[in-house]
């Protein structure tokens, strides 16, 4: 097992001067996920469900408020500084909007070279690695001398992928990897991610509000709602036999890779997390929107349980 997340909670405290009560916002609650070598795990859910926060925790960019994250059986937040840096080197994160994470004054060569220099890679080895990665993401050697603004969105995403992979990480998180791209090139970038995965020893986490991406790329899926895991299953089981009413709703409203207007975005709600003071909630988090609720759903909080082999769900209809 590569990762084990155990009882992870993440609470963000609002830093507003006027917020005297300092109410927290619970972005993630009781997350338990195992990731095995070679997995491509999909994290789905609407905006605000905690997907990006979860991805960041898995690469050490955010610290959980409670709970543990083990990487190769080591608690990553208990590592020495040196070992934590080593861990971070073996992981990588592609941000939702890669363009804003590029320094516009840096040429592609410098963007790719910088992490190699910082990690003490010799000059000739650097050139070898850059040539190899440029080839892997299907850019041209002459592109190395250009600046990010000289590329199309799809090519910029290729640069972001190249930079994320330049140090040969073992684990890659891609946060909404195609949502900022034109429809015509979304499929190309997905195909590229798949090819890169097949050629390397990567384990990946794909974050998306769009189920079709996850169906195409992932072997396992976790459905998040208001920071809670609602369902977890192998991809084929989730799509052939969705159990949770929220998953069913997501699948019904899932766009295809090629559709412009997505019903999934219509489902987004701006305030979809729960207030920290409400985390001891005594009812199902999906109660308000659920069309299948029963009396019990407003009286107690459902635990997530395995109802079929490797298929877990948080819903009283299965308890």
Ligand X SMILES: Nc1ncnc2c1ncn2[C@@H]1O[C@H](COP(=O)(O)OP(=O)(O)O)[C@@H](O)[C@H]1O
Taking CB under 5 A as the rule, does residue 52 contact Mg ion?
yes
Query: Which is nearer to ligand X, 67 or 148 (by Cβ)?
Result: 67
Q: Does 45 bind ligand SF4 (CB under 6 A)?
A: no
Give the integer Cα–Cα distance in Å for 316 and 319. 5
CB of 312 to ligand X, least distance (A): 20
Residue (27 or 213) nearer to ligand X, CB = 27
Residue 284 binds: one of Mg ion, ligand X, ligand SF4, none (C-beta under 5 to 8 A by kind): ligand SF4
Q: Are strands 40-44 and 220-225 parallel, antiparallel or unpaired?
A: parallel
Size of the site for Mg ion (CB under 5 A): 1
Asked if residue 249 binds ligand SF4 (CB under 6 A), the reply is no
Nearer to ligand SF4, 7 or 292 (CB): 292
Q: Cβ of residue 144: shortest distance to ligand X, in angstroms?
A: 32
Binds ligand SF4 (CB under 6 A): choice among 287, 300, 305, 308 = 287
Angle at 217 between CA 213 and CA 220, to 5 degrees: 100
Which of 27, 164 has the CB closer to ligand X? 27
Minimum CB distance to Mg ion smaller for 97 or for 299: 97
Mark the segment that binds ligand SF4 (CB under 6 A) among 30-38, 44-52, 174-182, 290-298: 290-298
- Contact yes or no for 227/210 (Cβ under 8 A): no
Smallest separation (angstroms) from Mg ion to the CB of 94: 12
Q: Cβ distance 111 to 146 under 8 Å?
A: no
Strands lying side by side in the sheet with 311-313: 91-94, 171-175, 203-208, 40-44, 220-225, 228-234, 311-313, 305-308
| Residue 186: contacted member of ligand X, ligand SF4, Mg ion, none (CB under 5 to 8 Å, by partner type) | none
What residues make contact with Mg ion under the rule CB under 5 A? 52
What residues make contact with ligand SF4 under the rule CB under 6 A? 245, 284, 286-287, 290, 292-294, 297, 302, 315-317
């Amino acid at each position: 097992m590569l990762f084990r997340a155990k009882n992870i909670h993440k609470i963000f405290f609002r830093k507003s001067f006027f917020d005297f009560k300092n109410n927290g916002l619970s972005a993630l609650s009781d997350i338990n996920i195992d990731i095995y070598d070679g997995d491509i795990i999909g994290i789905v859910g609407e905006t605000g469900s905690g997907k990006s926060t979860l991805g960041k925790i898995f690469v050490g960019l955010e610290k959980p408020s409670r709970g543990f994250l083990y990487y190769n059986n080591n608690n990553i937040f208990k590592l020495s500084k040196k070992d934590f840096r080593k861990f971070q080197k073996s992981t990588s994160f592609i941000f939702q909007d890669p363009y804003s994470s590029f320094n516009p004054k840096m040429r592609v060569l410098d963007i790719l070279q910088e992490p190699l220099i910082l990690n003490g890679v010799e000059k000739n080895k650097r050139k070898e690695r850059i040539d190899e990665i440029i080839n892997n993401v299907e850019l041209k050697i002459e592109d190395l001398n250009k600046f990010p603004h000289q590329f199309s969105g799809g090519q910029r995403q290729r640069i972001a992928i190249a930079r994320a992979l330049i140090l040969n990480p073992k684990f890659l998180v891609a946060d909404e990897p195609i949502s900022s791209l034109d429809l015509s090139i979304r499929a190309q970038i997905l195909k590229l991610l798949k090819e890169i995965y097949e050629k390397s020893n990567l384990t990946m986490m794909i974050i998306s509000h769009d189920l079709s991406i996850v169906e195409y790329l992932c072997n396992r899926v976790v459905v998040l709602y208001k920071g809670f895991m609602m369902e977890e299953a192998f991809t084929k089981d989730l799509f052939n036999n969705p159990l949770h009413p929220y998953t069913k709703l997501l699948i019904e409203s899932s766009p295809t890779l090629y559709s412009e207007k997505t019903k999934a975005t219509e489902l987004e709600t701006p305030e979809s997390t729960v207030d920290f003071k409400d985390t001891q909630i005594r009812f199902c988090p999906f109660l308000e929107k659920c069309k299948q609720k029963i009396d019990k759903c407003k009286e107690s909080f459902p635990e997530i349980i395995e109802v079929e082999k490797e298929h877990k769900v948080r819903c009283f209809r299965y308890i």
